[in-house]
């Protein structure tokens, strides 16, 4: 008569527990990746059959899958706005702002102020000539220019990056406190930014002051008229998503 114990060996219980834990792990990983109740249920049934428990689900498992299916049915699918619609929305917003600013500055009756919109870069550029902005060789904002800058108050209602560029002509600076055109153009850009912030038109963190001296002329002639065209302040408006796009380049007046 054999002395061997009847039934499964002792290690089988440990092995079965290990397989159950592995099944739970893989089912959990699968469920985290995507919720497909039918496939999920098939996997559980397959594990049940492998472990010798038959291919039927237990009442607890049936209840679990019913609750998961109910949760999936009640959860609406996430709606992701296509990138093209985001771009279109941004362009529409900039075009509406361009129209608003164009109308506002046209009411001043000063034709020397230019408001431009570039569709390729989705940027707005406002150009203010020196004669309405600053006295020659100085960086103190004229009183009338302060009033004009306040027409930019709609900017605070938009999530924009505002860059203010100071431009000079190619002639050296003579006299005054500025040693060269770089200092003069930078001081003028900073003066405009400071005025916009003081008047609440923009926030400090969305604004930049940039002096470019005479490196971006719009007129290449050597007449007084050409020099006057190059002495200007430009305010360039960009959306946050398009702020890395190259800034609108000036068009030469004699092209």
Q: pLDDT tier at 253 (50, 70, 90 boundaries)?
A: low
249 found inside a domain: no
Q: pLDDT tier at 245 (50, 70, 90 boundaries)?
A: very low
Better pLDDT: 14 or 153: 153
1 found inside a domain: no
- Bridge partners of 237? 124, 162
**pLDDT tens digits for range 198-224:** 999 999 999 999 999 999 999 999 999
| Torsion on CA atoms 178, 183, 188, 192, rounded to nearest 10 | -130
In the numeric block, which tokens belong to residue 124? 């707005």
User: Is the Cβ–Cβ distance between 106 and 215 less than 8 Å?
Assistant: no
Straight-line distance from the first to the last Cα atom of the chain, in angstroms, rounded to the nearest whole number: 113
What's the structural domain count of the chain? 2
3 found inside a domain: no
In the numeric block, which tokens belong to residue 148? 């004009």
What pLDDT is stored for residue 203 in this prediction? 92
User: Is the Cβ–Cβ distance between 129 and 227 less than 8 Å?
Assistant: no
Domain span holding position 169: 83-242
User: Is the Cβ–Cβ distance between 192 and 127 less than 8 Å?
Assistant: no
CA nearest to 199, candidates 248, 150, 232: 150
Q: Above 80 in pLDDT, residue 47?
A: no
217 found inside a domain: yes
56 found inside a domain: yes
Q: pLDDT tier at 42 (50, 70, 90 boundaries)?
A: confident
What pLDDT is stored for residue 150 in this prediction? 96
Better pLDDT: 184 or 82: 184
Better pLDDT: 36 or 176: 176
Residues 91 and 211 in one domain: yes
Residues 163 and 61 in one domain: no
4 found inside a domain: no
What pLDDT is stored for residue 63 in this prediction? 73
Q: pLDDT tier at 144 (50, 70, 90 boundaries)?
A: very high
For residue 171, the 8-state DSSP code is S
CA distance linking residue 188 with residue 8, whole number of Å: 91
- Kindly report the CATH number assigned to the domain that includes residue 128: 3.30.1330.60
CA distance linking residue 107 with residue 189, whole number of Å: 25
């Amino acid at each position: 008569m054999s002395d061997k114990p009847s039934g499964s060996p002792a290690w089988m219980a440990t092995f079965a527990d290990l397989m159950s834990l592995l099944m739970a792990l893989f089912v959990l990983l699968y469920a985290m990746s995507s919720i497909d109740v039918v496939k999920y249920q098939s996997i559980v049934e397959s594990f049940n059959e492998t472990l010798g428990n038959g291919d039927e689900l237990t009442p607890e498992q049936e209840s679990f899958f019913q609750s998961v299916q109910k949760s999936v049915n009640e959860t609406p699918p996430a709606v992701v706005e296509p990138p093209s619609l985001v771009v279109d929305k941004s362009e529409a917003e900039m075009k509406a702002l361009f129209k608003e600013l164009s109308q506002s500055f046209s009411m001043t009756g000063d034709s020397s102020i230019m408001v431009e919109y570039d569709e390729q870069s989705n940027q707005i550029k406002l150009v203010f000539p020196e004669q309405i902005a600053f006295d020659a060789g100085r960086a103190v904002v004229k009183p009338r220019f302060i009033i004009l800058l306040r027409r930019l108050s709609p900017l605070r209602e938009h999530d924009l990056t505002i860059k203010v560029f100071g431009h000079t002509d190619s002639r050296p600076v003579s006299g005054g406190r500025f040693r060269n055109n770089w200092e003069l153009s930078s001081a003028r850009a900073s003066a405009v930014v400071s005025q916009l912030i003081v008047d609440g038109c923009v926030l400090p963190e969305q604004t930049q002051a940039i002096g470019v001296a005479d490196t971006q002329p719009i007129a290449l002639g050597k007449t007084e008229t050409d020099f006057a065209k190059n002495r200007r302040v430009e305010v360039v408006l960009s959306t946050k998503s398009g702020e890395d796009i190259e800034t609108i380049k000036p068009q030469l007046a004699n092209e």
